Structure 1
Amino acid sequence: MSESTPTGSTTSARGSSSKAAARGGSRRHAGVDVVDEEHRIHEGTGFAAWLFVLPALAVALVFVIAPFVNTVRLSFTDATFARPGSFVGLEQYRKMLADPAVHTGLLNSSLYVICVVPFMVILPLILASLVSGNSKILSFFRASFYLPVVVSTVIVGLVWTNILAPKGVVNAALKSVNAIKEYIPFLTDRWLLLFSAMMITIWTGLGYYMIIYLAALANIDPGLYEAAEIDGAGVVRRFLHVTVPGVRSTMVLIMLLSSAAAFRVFNEIYVLTGGTGGVGGQDVTMTMLVKNYGTGLNAKYGYAGAVSMLIFLIVGSLIAIEFLIERKMSKDA
């Protein structure tokens, strides 16, 4: 009887260890099953994500990437409407840099950026600050300022063409009060036409950028305005020291968007000049040059491609500079 006890305890210990091993094995198998299941779920989610992204990638490939690659290719050829052309290296770029029309287009497009962008950054912010609120009258003003955005630029240009015509509303009003003796040539003078187009661009773009600013203003803590008001800050000081710092990143974004849009301006100039680019083509812009050289039976696809690449490089440089400014401002903040 005294020898049976160790044997029984040994048997029970072995049974316990076997059960523990079985439980450990089952836990290990369960862990492996969970990992496999998570892996399968991850693979399934990744595949579904690609299915959602695929249509956008297909659109970008067909309408953005492929045309861009083709434009780059054409810029190194002498292709025209009549023939596919052959490789000519940098010849089209050399011709472009010596072309007086390109010089005029660069000057006009650069002036457009310099004159339009400051108004596009500042005026919409002021408007957004004035119309931000929940009252019905402010909603009416927001809708009124946004209305030109939804109207076609061509229609806007035609309306302003009639307003600025020699016997249009502006000249007739000035003539009726004897403010002028002769009609002002808004549509035939080079600089007056260019600045008239800038005014139309600013007028049509105010509402769009105002909406972007309204979204940024909604993220500013109202307590900051209350604290500034308690400290005795007036409307102007609250605007400069609370509103402007609060929308600083948005201002850089709008500077970027408006710079790219201003350099690529087309509709306003095209409609006001009737597609001629002004008297002697003096008001032609870079985008109009692409249209002039790249369409019609006399189209020079290779040359138009070179002009397009110049526009791409300039706009890309503007975006890069403003991106660097944004990064520096973010680090300093």
Structure 2
Amino acid sequence: MLPFLALLMLYHTWPVIFGTYLAFTKYNIISPPEFVGLDNFRELIKDQQFWSGVVNSLKYLLVVPFIQLLSIGVAMLVNRPLKGIGFFRTAYYVPVVTSFAVVGLIWTWMYQQSGPVNFVLMHLGLMQRDSSLLNNPGSALYAVMFVTLWKGIGYYMVLYLAGLQSIGRELEEAAVIDGATRWQVFVNITLPGLRPTILVCSLMSTISAVKVFEEIFVMTQGGPVGSTYTALFFNYAKAFQDFRYGYAAAAGIVVAVISLVFGLINFKMTRGGRVDG
């Protein structure tokens, strides 16, 4: 285990420790860190740009229930013993293994004013004027959310598929023999059996939503007019654009605490993943 533990210390534990230390310093990578105590956190409390980013990150949590429900639905579809089902499982998973740089560029093109998304929305009467969804402050964040939803379904589908296959088939068959409908089987057998998986998936999805960055960096850079400026993008901008590493580290700690709080709420809502007897 020593090689793994060494890599874990080098790339995970040490950055966390050093980043926590930097949060209490003024550091611009040129001069040595200067200890400033809680000054960075006091400044964060008054920083409207940071709190605007936190609000956008919390809005991103709207994607969590949709991605979980759709993932469960897709997992149930591909859990059937049909001929060629392996092809569909692979097809749903392809977006997961595709680089987000590629995914972001493709969807940015699709969202363009002359792109296919606008064409479909205009012909369905859902859009009154031809404009890019990513250039509209009212729709940009939700357009990026949809990309996260599209890309993430396959990942959680695999986890839910594993959870479905761990549920004894004889339980469902016995319920059907007793006269239970498909909906009753799902509510009383499938859903309780999936509860531990739902806990893990919803927890991971919640933390990922609060810490969203790749999508914003590739597709919008926080625009337009700051409508997609998230908390983690604030960290990136302060560290690698303004070179205020101590201030960025302090913001990172606050984001981590927010993620922990929502993770605990998520854990509480799913009752710790216990399956009722």
- TM-score range (shorter-chain normalised) is over 0.9
Query: What is the TM-score with the length of structure 1 in the denominator?
Result: 0.78
Deviations 1:39-70 (A, max 9, x none): xxxxxxxxxxxxxx111110111111111111
Please say which structure displays the higher CA radius of gyration: 1
The one-character-per-residue Cα deviations of 1:114-150 (angstroms, maximum 9, x if unpaired) are x111012211111111110333332221111111001
CA distance in 1, matches of 2:147, 2:14: 33
1:287-324 per-residue CA deviation (whole Å, 9 max, x = no partner) reads 1111101114x310110010111111112223334445
* Offset, 1:86: 1.2
Residue 134 of structure 2 aligns to a residue whose secondary structure is coil
Q: For the residues of structure 1 that align with 2:126 and 2:208, how far apart are their CA atoms? A: 35
> Which residue pairs with 1:71 in the alignment?
19
> Structure 2: any 5+ residue segments left out of the alignment?
none
Which stretches in structure 1 are left out of the alignment for 5+ residues?
1-52
Shift of 1:332: 5.6
Contact 1:104/1:283 (<8 A) preserved: no
Contact 1:112-1:198 within 8 A present in 2 as well: yes
**Identity over aligned residues, as a percent?**
35
What is the 5 A alignment of 1:200-215? 200-215=147-162
Question: Do the aligned partners of residues 116 and 140 (structure 1) sit closer, same or farther apart at CA in structure 2, a change above 3 Å counting?
Answer: same
| Displacement of 1:328 | 4.9
**C-alpha contact (below 8 Å) 1:120/1:254 kept by paired residues:** no
Amino acid at match of 1:313: V
Q: How many pairs align?
A: 277
How far apart, CA to CA, are the structure 1 residues paired with 2:211 and 2:252?
Answer: 10
Give the RMSD, CA atoms, in angstroms. Answer: 1.9
Cα deviations by residue, 1:95-120 (Å, 9 ceiling, x for unpaired):
1111111111110111111x111012
Q: Aligned-pair distance for 1:331?
A: 8.0
Given that 2:171 and 2:189 are in contact with CA atoms closer than 8 Å, whether structure 1 keeps it comes out as: yes
Give, in whole Å, the separation in 1 of the partners of 2:60 and 2:5. Answer: 33
Matches within 5 A, 1:153-172: 153-172=100-119
Q: Deviations over 1:247-272 (max 9, x none)?
A: 11110111111011111111112222
Counterpart for residue 133 of structure 2: 186
Which structure's residues are more often helix, by fraction? 1
TM-score (norm 2): 0.93
Question: Which fold has the larger relative contact order, with Cα–Cα distance below 8 Å and residues 6 or more apart in sequence?
Answer: 2
Contact 2:63 2:149 (C-alpha < 8 Å) held by counterparts: yes
Are residues 1:317 and 2:265 paired?
no
